[in-house]
Amino acid sequence: MLIKNKKKQTFAKDTQPNIILIKMSRSLAYVIGLLLILVGCLPPPNSVKINSTHLTMGNPSNAQANVSSPNNYLIIKPQYALSYNRSKGYANWVSWELSKSWLGSVDRQNDFRPDESLPQNWHKVTPNEYSNSGFDRGHLCPSADRTNSTANNSSTFLMTNMIPQAPELNREAWAYLEEFCRELVAQKHKLFITAGTYGTGGEGTKGATNKLNDKIEVPARIYKIIVVLPENATLNDINSDTPIIAVDFPNKNSVVQNTGWIRFVTTVADIERKTDNDFFANFPSSVQNALQNKRFDYRSTSLNVDTKCRVHNGNALYIGKSGGCYYFNSKGNKTYVDRELCDCQ
């Protein structure tokens, strides 16, 4: 009897820690399982939605604010968002909202400067690296789209917003399209715009080249995609009938000289094929597909598309929806000229 009692006592003492361990293991397994379920419910890093009005239409290259993506590095500023390419020395694309709230009377700041928001050990392009290159420091987000405050205008002169741009393009067709966008805003529209680049090799005033000072790559093409909405519209108002303007310019002086942007109209789908970007990814596939395949036609659009076409005898010629060609005389009146002078299509 004494021996049996000893055995029972010993057995009870030996098993008590084991029972505690079993219970602790079960609790730990439960906690781990719960954590795995919670982690599994989280979206993958690349699908996390980024809160910026400038990315309302989407993040076309899925840029990330991570130094491990140096050639698709996301920078979000109050004034615009961009995907920076460290190897090229400029942005893959810049996106911004344009509405009347961004426009005012602030003077152009002209304070071109490096972007200190880039990671510390990255080369920061300076304005002097464009000097005597034959190319303009071309804005992607225009200075004139940010005139409601000095700080907002100044932000457009950061070098991450600049590209080596053929002067004839920067000062003519590209500028005409920028002015047209602001005219749409004056007509009570709100725009979402993406401007970007692709390819290598352009032509400036000193001829063709692939790089500036063996550092900054020169893009071959420069595109712009514009979504046009009523000024009080919401995302729910975007549908397959929403006006889309997609334009794809060659970055070559000799090709774009004294011509307008209408000649270079294309589709978003065509730009996607050439850039591997995915535009309008924030929308249902049916709406996305419709917007991607729309081709802007100034003759049938609902928009007022009177826009600068070219310069003739010192006068800026405008082309209208009806096909007329005119300029404004010294009294501010339209003066119509031969239609052939506006052969800008």
Q: How is residue 271 written in tokens?
A: 């730009």
Give counts: helices (H), strands (E), the chain.
7, 17
Which residues are 208's β-sheet partners? 203
CA atoms within 13 A on the CB side of 44: 3
Which residues are 226's β-sheet partners? 193, 245
pLDDT at 27: 57
pLDDT at 25: 56
Taking the C-alpha atoms of residue 95 and residue 80, their distance in angstroms, rounded to an integer, is: 6
pLDDT at 320: 76
Which residues are 204's β-sheet partners? 207
User: Quick one: which H or E segment has residue 291?
Assistant: helix 285-292
Taking the C-alpha atoms of residue 297 and residue 133, their distance in angstroms, rounded to an integer, is: 36
Choosing from 123, 139, 189, 312, which is the catalytic residue?
139
* The total number of residues written for the chain in this structure: 345
Whether the Cβ atoms of residue 192 and residue 57 lie closer than 8 Å to each other: yes
Q: Please report the DSSP string for 30-41 in residue order.
A: HHHHHHHHHHHH
pLDDT digit of tens for each residue in the chain (345 aa)?
444 444 444 444 455 555 555 555 565 555 455 444 444 444 444 344 567 999 999 999 999 999 999 999 999 999 999 999 999 999 999 999 999 999 999 999 999 999 999 999 999 999 999 999 999 999 999 999 999 999 999 999 999 999 999 999 999 999 999 999 999 999 999 999 999 999 999 999 999 999 998 899 999 999 999 999 999 999 899 999 999 999 999 999 999 988 899 999 999 999 999 999 999 998 999 999 999 999 998 888 888 778 888 888 888 898 877 778 899 998 889 999 988 888 765
Of the candidates 300, 299, 296, 325, the one whose C-alpha atom is nearest the C-alpha of residue 310 is 325
Taking the C-alpha atoms of residue 166 and residue 250, their distance in angstroms, rounded to an integer, is: 9
**312 catalytic per annotation:** no
pTM attached to this predicted model = 0.84
b/e burial code for range 103-136 (CB count within 10 A of at least 16 → b): beebeebeebeebeebeeeeebbeeebbeebbbb
Which residues are 83's β-sheet partners? 74, 93
- Residue 321's Cα: distance from chain center in Å? 28
pLDDT at 304: 77
Residue with tokens 């080369």, as numbered in its chain = 123
pLDDT at 2: 45
Q: How is residue 238 written in tokens?
A: 């975007």
Beta strands in 31-116 (DSSP E): 73-76, 81-85, 90-98
pLDDT at 17: 52
Distance (Å) of CA 133 to CA 202, 210, 218: 12, 11, 11
